């Protein structure tokens, strides 16, 4: 009897420990969100922060417009390459993905997700910066597109795989060729999931620092030419945070808050869309 009491007590105790550890896991999330918001807010409440380019320490009115534009350009160029290739590869895996080759593609993209992002930077440096003899936004896009590719592939495969076979079969029964069934029936049905995957990949790429360090390099001026060096938001955070100047550190916190806000919006939004997609797919 006493033994059973002990067993039940220890089980309850262990469950308490598990809950405590779980709460502990969420503490850093709360702390990071809180400190970024509190320390970043003084920066982002000025309009200058969004419309002016970076200025040296001591000169008021500096902003991160150059980095916002740079992030947009670098990530758009990367998406232009990564999203079409990723979506087509994902479709291949979902539609014809039973064979040996497909399992190699799957393994390669899963491994690529875990590849060190700094190595992707070195890769783009050797591939683009060395032959061109100067740093450029294009080089950064090459690195980021490799980073985005596996994310797009796997989310597309998941989204297309969710579409019930009935839709595919009814298309084929009507005499449509495979490519029309795939691109005009299945892909539109899977669009919310595919777009979500692309957005998640974009969010991840926009937040990366290591691959852009010695490809885009950074640039204090507002430039739109992708063959020139550019700054991105993570670069501003990284470089400014490590300076001894209070005003630049403040700028870094502001840029960090912008990044964080973007990532939060994309992630929470995509969760909502995905849940809706899964519910709709069940109804089909």
Partner 1 sequence: LAAAVDSARRPASIPRPPDRYRTFTAVVSWAAPAALILIVVVLFQQAWPSVTRFGLGFFIGTEWNQVTNHFGAAPFIFGTLVTSALALALALPVGIAVAVLLAEPGAQGIRGVLGTGIELLAAIPSVVYGIWALYVLAPWTLLHIETPATDHLASIPFLGGIPRQTSLFTAALVLAVMILPTLSAVSRDVIRAVPRGLRESTFALGATWWETTWKVVLPAARAGLFGATVLALGRALAETVAVAMVIGNRPEIPGSIFSPGYTLAAVIANEFAEATGDVYQGALVELGLVLILVTLTVNVLALLLVRSAQARPSV
Contact set for partner 1, span 109-168 (CB under 8 A): 109-112, 114-123, 125-127, 146, 149-150, 153
Q: Interface with partner 1 by CB under 8 A: which range of 32-40, 49-57, 69-77, 165-173? A: 32-40
Closest CA to 266 of 185, 204, 186, 190: 204
Site for partner 1 in 81-100 (CB under 8 A): 85, 88-89, 91-93, 95-96
Q: Rounded to the nearest 5 degrees, what angle is found at the Cα of 194, between the Cα atoms of 188 and 196?
A: 125
Site for partner 1 in 34-63 (CB under 8 A): 35-36, 39
Site for partner 1 in 12-31 (CB under 8 A): 14-15, 17-19, 21-22, 24-26, 28-29, 31
User: Least separation, in Å, of the C-beta of 260 and partner 1?
Assistant: 6
Residue 162 or 266: the one with the smaller Cβ distance to partner 1 is 266
150, 114 Cβ separation under 8 angstroms: no
Q: Interface with partner 1 by CB under 8 A: which range of 42-50, 63-71, 103-111, 167-175? A: 103-111
Long-range contacts of 111-120 (CB under 8 A, 24+ apart): 112/146, 112/149, 112/150, 113/150, 113/151, 113/154, 116/210, 117/143, 117/147, 117/208, 117/210, 117/211, 118/210, 118/211, 118/213, 120/144, 120/146, 120/147, 120/210, 120/211
Residue 236 or 281: the one with the smaller Cβ distance to partner 1 is 236
Residue 51 or 96: the one with the smaller Cβ distance to partner 1 is 96
């Amino acid at each position: 009897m006493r033994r059973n009491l002990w067993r039940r007590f220890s089980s309850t105790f262990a469950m308490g420990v598990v809950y405590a550890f779980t709460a502990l896991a969420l503490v850093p999330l709360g702390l990071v969100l809180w400190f970024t918001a509190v320390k970043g807010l003084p920066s982002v409440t000025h309009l200058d922060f969004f419309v002016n380019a970076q200025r040296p320490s001591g000169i008021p009115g500096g902003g991160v417009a150059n980095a916002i534009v740079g992030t947009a350009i670098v990530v758009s160029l990367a998406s232009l390459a990564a999203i079409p290739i990723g979506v087509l590869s994902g479709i291949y895996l979902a539609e014809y993905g039973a064979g040996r080759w497909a399992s190699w593609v799957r393994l390669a993209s899963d491994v690529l997700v875990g590849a060190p992002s700094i190595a992707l930077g070195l890769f783009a440096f050797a591939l683009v910066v060395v032959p061109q003899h100067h740093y450029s936004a294009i080089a950064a896009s090459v690195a980021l597109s490799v980073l985005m590719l596996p994310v797009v592939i796997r989310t597309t495969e998941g989204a297309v795989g969710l579409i019930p076979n009935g839709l595919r079969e009814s298309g084929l029964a009507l005499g449509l060729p495979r490519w029309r069934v795939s691109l005009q029936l299945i892909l539109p049905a899977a669009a919310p999931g595919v777009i979500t995957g692309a957005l998640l990949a974009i969010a991840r790429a926009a937040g990366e620092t290591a691959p852009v360090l010695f490809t885009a390099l950074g640039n204090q001026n507002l430039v739109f030419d992708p063959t020139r060096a550019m700054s991105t938001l993570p670069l501003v955070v990284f470089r400014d945070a490590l300076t001894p100047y209070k005003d630049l550190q403040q700028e870094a916190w502001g840029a960090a808050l912008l990044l964080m806000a973007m990532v939060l919006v994309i992630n929470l939004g995509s969760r909502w869309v995905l849940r809706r997609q899964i519910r709709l797919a069940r109804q089909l």
